[in-house]
Amino acid sequence: IDCLVSIGSGSVPTRVRKGGWRYLDTGQVLIESACSVERVEEALSTLLPMLPEIQYFRFNPVDDRCGMELDETDPAIWLKLEAAIDEYIQSNSQVLKNVCERLTLPFLNDEKWCENLKPRFMNGKQSNRRVESSPSLGWRRNVLLVEAQHSPDSGRVKHHARALESFCSSNGIKLSSLHATPGGPKPSPGTAFPTPFNSPLISGSLPTSPLLFTPDHGPQKFNRIDMVPPLSLDGGHAGKTILSPPSSPPPKRQLYLPLRQMHEKLQNLPQVGIIHLALQNDSNGSILSWQNDVFVVAEPGDLADKFLQSVKFSILSVMQSNRRKAASILSNICSISDLVRIKKCFQVGNIIHRYIGRQTQVMEDDQEIAAFMFRRTVPSTHLTPDDIRWMVGAWRDRIILYSGTFGPTQAVVKAFLDSGAKAVIGPSTEPQETPLITSQGSPFEYNIGENGKFEIGEEEDEEEEEAEREQMEPPTPTATSDWEDSDHEKMNGDDNKCSGLWEDEEEQVSEFVCQLYDMLFRENASVDVALQKALASHRKLRYTCHLANV
């Protein structure tokens, strides 16, 4: 609240009477002290000036002519009351002018409010319906930028969030940033990040919990490659059932620390009109924090085929503008060994995989098994539809803007709109589960373009890496139990190349976001009109505007 206006109905000046009337006056003051409006006015006029950025106005004529009964019918007394009010308005004309300007200033750029001031003709209902279906920014002119810490996007050389900060700074738009910090209560282990791939190594190699580690599954000798049991990163057999203690009653719901930070920030910033969520999305919601884990996959095997299949599908789904070129080079990748030789850092959906090393073993039947280890950056905390509804009042009359690789799910969009958001803007591509093929499924087929060539990072550097790798690797793999160091860990600049796989797309998103904000702030365009004009200049991007009444 930045402005408070109090309007009275007129009162009679207080006069101190002598004699026995003073006892009656004292009793009347004691009775009215608990409900007198003037007592409230005295407190507000004394205390509110001490608070910054809050203005207080009180309008109440004090005149003998205001003393009349509620059921007064004498015209002469009514004329005296009207004369007293007219004189009060004339004597306080400047104060009335100031309060009118103060109350109307925030709404001058609101198309809906200005439209209501215009005369309503026969087509007034259609005009109002059109305005209501196309909300504008309104009087809330600030921006809140929300980013996730340890996000795979944070290491990019070009990031649209930095372009947005530069645009707001140069155009006088007040922008507040919020980096969601991990912490607070975490989900139970049963709700940890799911993975469709089990790591086929010896169980217990990487125990994460001493209570689940069983040393009886140590290094063993296998005669056949299909006898190697899968490795569970929790330290237990994939097919072994572990009894868990009885669950306790669910505690009272509490928001995670990143969600509490966001909720408190929005409550303390009432002038925020756009909540820019520079977050990635998956099927669970918007990702607020990330964490690292280790993922191991063995080759050859069905799991390796499924993993390679998911990598190819993810690259094709993201590289929309170079889909034919991507299919050309991906068709030449037939194994994980080929994949890590070309690129040691890649993305599957929203998850970054960084190649760490591999372990090779030769079985008694001369078959070789290679286990590849990857360090993954996986989601840790999500902003779910339930969380959105739980944050009461945080989204009302605000525009929600997503700018990640994938847009929000329909459940997230509905939660925002049900919570009072004006509009939700985000990429049209919704996050999907990584498609997997069964062992009986048909192989994935790609349509290869003519003379297509797809580059992931810089081709010359990759060829140099491959040459160095061939020189360092022994010509014949031998049985070993140590992990071979990957060239990725030795190359200083490979992380930058990994984060810059899609710099061209990121530059387009940066230009699109700046143009969209320019339409909303400088031209005061409605949300859908601003989005259409911004997309007209960036035809490769696909964004959708979701409105509450559409």
What number does CATH give the domain 142-184+255-285+381-432+504-547? Answer: 3.40.50.1460
Q: What does the pLDDT read at residue 325?
A: 58
pLDDT digits (tens, 9 = 90+) for 63-94: 888 888 888 888 899 999 999 999 999 999 99
Encode burial over 220-231: b for 16+ CB neighbours within 10 A, e otherwise: eeeeebeebbbb
In this predicted structure, what is the pLDDT of residue 367? 80
User: Which residue(s) pair with 110 in the sheet?
Assistant: none
| pLDDT digits 0-9 by tens, 146-186 | 988 767 666 555 678 888 999 999 988 999 988 866 554 45
Give the mean model confidence (pLDDT) for residues 316-325.
58
Local confidence band at 520 (pLDDT 50, 70, 90 cut-offs):
very high
Average pLDDT value for the chain = 71
* Per-residue model confidence (pLDDT) at position 87: 92
pLDDT > 90? residue 276: yes
Q: What is the pLDDT of residue 472?
A: 45
Cβ contact 59:8 at 8 Å: yes
Q: If you average pLDDT over residues 8-13, what whole number do you get?
A: 82
Pairwise CA distance, residues 68 & 193, whole Å: 73
CB atoms within 10 A of CB 125: 10
Give pLDDT, residue 118.
52
SS3 (DSSP) at 483: coil
What is the structure's pLDDT at 252? Answer: 54
Question: Any idea where the domains of the chain sit in the sequence?
Answer: 3-101, 142-184+255-285+381-432+504-547, 189-238+290-380+433-500
Contacts by residues 183-190 (CB-CB < 8 Å, ≥ 24 positions apart): 183/256, 183/257, 183/258, 184/254, 184/255, 184/256, 184/257, 184/258, 184/260, 185/254, 185/256, 186/256, 186/380, 186/381, 189/234
